[in-house]
Structure 1
Amino acid sequence: MDFALTDEQRMLEETLTRLVADQISPEQRRTMLAAAPNGSSALWRTFAELGLLHMPFSEDVGGLGGDGTDLMIIMQALGRGLVPEPYLAGLVLPGQLLALTANSEQQTRWLAPLLEGEHQLALAWQEIGARYDAFTVATQATQQGDQWQLNGKKHVVLNLEAAAATLVSAQLASGKLGLFIVPADAPGTSTHLYRTIDDQPAGDLTLDSVTLPLTNCLSEDVSDVLAEVLAVGRAALCAQAIGAMEEACDQTLAYLKERKQFGVPLSTFQALQHRMVDMHLHLEQSRSMAILAATSLALPASERDYKIAAAKAYCGESARFIAEQAIQLHGAMGMTEECYVASYAKHLVMFDHYLGDSDYHLETVSELLKVA
């Protein structure tokens, strides 16, 4: 397949490459991670000025009408620099759900400020025991007169601390899956905040008789839309992993050229050359799968889910392989915080677990093949 970027997409790629190189050095990233989560950081405002916050959304809701390829370009650049801003968790996932389910009043209240960079949101869909299944939900929502009441607990909610509100999925009395927007200061909510292994801010959200007005219900049957948005997220994660894998390979090759043993660079040893070749083979094959995922978002649901599940599974396995090889080829120093490749390795290992790991997606591929 001839996959070529348009002139506009090449300009976007070049702009992001320069931006990440200028503003996300290892020291700058550590400073950003040490700071409290803030939806209006200088870098986030730069994203807004460049139109990156509008890019993934349709023109109907005030976006720029970007497609899966545009999102892939953005996420790949962010992955290459390990940019800590929650572009996917705080913007794309909750924003796409709002774009597809919210009425005009809800969009004005929550989506428009999101695209302008005035606040961030979060999506709470994971629950303990569900094993990445977004449709096995114990959280309950009951309608009582002119209000909704939510009870339950959501786990590993990325960007929870910085979010002005969280989109929460809950089971309804009808048996269908509903979607609600819960403000951060809603009475009855409590949070347990922490960092994931790769330093992403996350938390568990407990809902204890949380009372919401009817206008905070985005949908009383969100299953199909949620599946569509999670597919977008998985395709975006594949692209982000490609950027991180590229940089891990580049840093490892640079180290092998610099480090010497017996008076010659490590890169001259044939066994180590073979391992670098294996890393690049995994990278290039994963790149093809990431492109497949990005270009499959507009397909019918079953075909879309099959191809994106296959891409996520393959990229997850490749990410772990490249992370392990990068650490081994750096030797003991590859495990230290001072060696920047360690941050890429942690991110690549955790990538496999975000929005479903390789085993989960291989099961999805197997089930869809049986149906076909």
Structure 2
Amino acid sequence: MSAFTTEDRRLLADSINRYVDEAYGPEHRAAILKSDDGFSRSDWATYAALGWLGIAIGEEQGGSGGGLAELAVLMRAAGRGLLMEPLLPTLVLAAGALSGGGNAQQQAQWLPAIAEGRAILTLAQDDAASDETPVIASPTEGGYRLNGRRGFVLYGAAADQIIVKVELAGQVALFLVSPTAPGVTLAHASTVDDRPVSDLWLDDVAVAATDRLPGGDASLLANLNEAAALAVCAEAVGAMEAANRLTLDYLKTRTQFGSSIGSFQVMQHRMVDMSLAMQEASAITWAAIGAVTSGNPDAALLTAAAKARSSAAARLVGEQSIQLHGGIGMTEEYAIGHYYRRLMLLETLFGAAGWHLDRLGGWTAAGLDGERG
């Protein structure tokens, strides 16, 4: 159970939003985009000092003992401020994998390092909707050899360790892999919203038996992906809130035929649609987070519904924001274009609307078949 109260979460949100407003403006973000890392290590250290990086890490490992709800507060602010730092892969996926599947030694080595900002970790896995060839782990004397490829590894270039999903004797397993180990190759690129991403190749990479997360199985990975999907939903809500605000401000100031274009009824209708889409996404996201944290048996169903709704809302808000701004919205100088690109990535990350709707349809069909039986 989280050590945070509702008031604690409100104060946390206020603190993060204040930092975003005061220290993470457009000029600062533009400078980050030009840097080699693609994010700010200085800001990362500040996040650690403010306690954000340990927000969902246990108190015994130097964290605050929070959970998914607190991570969602942070991710919502990250979407609002277009933060570039590796919050999702390090705090949600890697720290979650270590907390849920690591042994005491692995947790003691890496969780305090994450909380203190001394280590960046990421998770390399296949896309659930893809047919990517699995990474194979073959037992050797005292360890394993890993061979295969993983695509779309967020912040792989900056990672001190990569937790890699592998197939071991037909079962899912997770291993800690050093990016500098012999046989590891990383090819770097950027996502549509300029975040660093890498392809990972493993060519006969030797890992010790102690590098395996003993609790890193398919069930843990499924839980991590559900949490990551909801973190993405929360980030999308924050980005949609900011995009709606920017668009409304633009409609109030842009004039045509002697009046602000925001006074035209068709524009007002579009803004209402955008606002409703964001509010619906927010409501179902928090309902799903509540279901996960309370152990509700329908949590997976609600998570799929939340991601489907948030993905559809992200596309609607992103596209309408650009259309209402016109061509100027796609210029680098205007923030709305950056929100559009962020929303386009979040729409597909951890499953687009169609994929999650297929999941919901499958569960519904299975339930109906069970009732008929």
TM category (shorter chain) comes to over 0.9
Q: Does 1:308 align with 2:303?
A: yes
AA aligned opposite 1:261: Q
Bigger shift: residues 64-73 or 38-47? 38-47
Q: Does 1:333 align with 2:328?
A: yes
Provide the identity percentage: 36
Q: Which residue of 2 aligns with 1:10?
A: 10
Aligned residues: 363
Q: Does 1:229 align with 2:227?
A: no
Query: CA offsets, 1:134-180, max 9 Å, x none?
Result: xx76110011111210000000000101000100011112x111100
Question: For 1:39 and 1:244, how far apart are their aligned partners in 2?
Answer: 18
Could you tell me whether the CA contact under 8 Å between 2:121 and 2:159 is conserved in 1? yes
Could you tell me whether the CA contact under 8 Å between 1:91 and 1:120 is conserved in 2? no
Could you tell me whether the CA contact under 8 Å between 1:245 and 1:283 is conserved in 2? yes
CA offset at residue 299 of structure 1? 4.9
Q: Which residue of 2 aligns with 1:69?
A: 69
Secondary structure of the residue aligned to 1:187 is coil
Q: Which residue of 2 aligns with 1:142?
A: 138
Q: Which residue of 1 aligns with 2:270?
A: 275
Q: Does 1:218 align with 2:216?
A: no
- What is the TM-score of this pair, normalised by structure 1? 0.93
Question: For 1:252 and 1:39, how far apart are their aligned partners in 2?
Answer: 26
Instruction: Give the RMSD, CA atoms, in angstroms.
Output: 1.8
Secondary structure of the residue aligned to 1:295 is helix
Question: For 2:33 and 2:269, how far apart are their aligned partners in 1?
Answer: 36
Q: Does 1:153 align with 2:146?
A: no
Q: Which residue of 2 aligns with 1:207?
A: 202
AA aligned opposite 2:220: V
Q: Does 1:184 align with 2:179?
A: yes
1:290–1:101 CA distance, 2 compared to 1 (3 A):
same
Q: Which residue of 1 aligns with 2:240?
A: 245
Bigger shift: residues 261-270 or 290-299? 290-299
AA aligned opposite 2:245: D
Query: CA offsets, 1:89-112, max 9 Å, x none?
Result: 123210110111111111222222
CA offset at residue 282 of structure 1? 0.6
AA aligned opposite 2:56: P
Could you tell me whether the CA contact under 8 Å between 1:177 and 1:220 is conserved in 2? no
1:172–1:137 CA distance, 2 compared to 1 (3 A):
farther
AA aligned opposite 1:363: D
Could you tell me whether the CA contact under 8 Å between 1:90 and 1:159 is conserved in 2? no
Question: For 1:300 and 1:13, how far apart are their aligned partners in 2?
Answer: 24
Secondary structure of the residue aligned to 1:37 is coil
CA offset at residue 37 of structure 1? 1.9
1:57-206 equivalences in 2 (<5 Å)? 57-126=57-126, 131=129, 138-173=134-169, 175-206=170-201
AA aligned opposite 1:80: R
Query: CA offsets, 1:311-359, max 9 Å, x none?
Result: 0010000000000100000011112222210000011111111111111
Query: CA offsets, 1:300-321, max 9 Å, x none?
Result: 5862211101100100000000
1:302–1:36 CA distance, 2 compared to 1 (3 A):
farther
AA aligned opposite 2:99: A
AA aligned opposite 1:114: I
AA aligned opposite 1:172: L
Question: For 2:282 and 2:21, how far apart are their aligned partners in 1?
Answer: 21
Structure 2, unaligned runs of 5 or more: 368-373
Query: CA offsets, 1:36-55, max 9 Å, x none?
Result: 22887121111111111111
Question: For 2:350 and 2:323, how far apart are their aligned partners in 1?
Answer: 27
AA aligned opposite 1:367: G
Could you tell me whether the CA contact under 8 Å between 1:172 and 1:220 is conserved in 2? no
Q: Which residue of 2 aligns with 1:27?
A: 27
CA offset at residue 70 of structure 1? 1.6
- What is the TM-score of this pair, normalised by structure 2? 0.93
Q: Which residue of 1 aligns with 2:371?
A: none
Q: Which residue of 1 aligns with 2:370?
A: none
1:275–1:170 CA distance, 2 compared to 1 (3 A):
same
Bigger shift: residues 215-224 or 37-46? 37-46
Question: For 2:39 and 2:271, how far apart are their aligned partners in 1?
Answer: 39
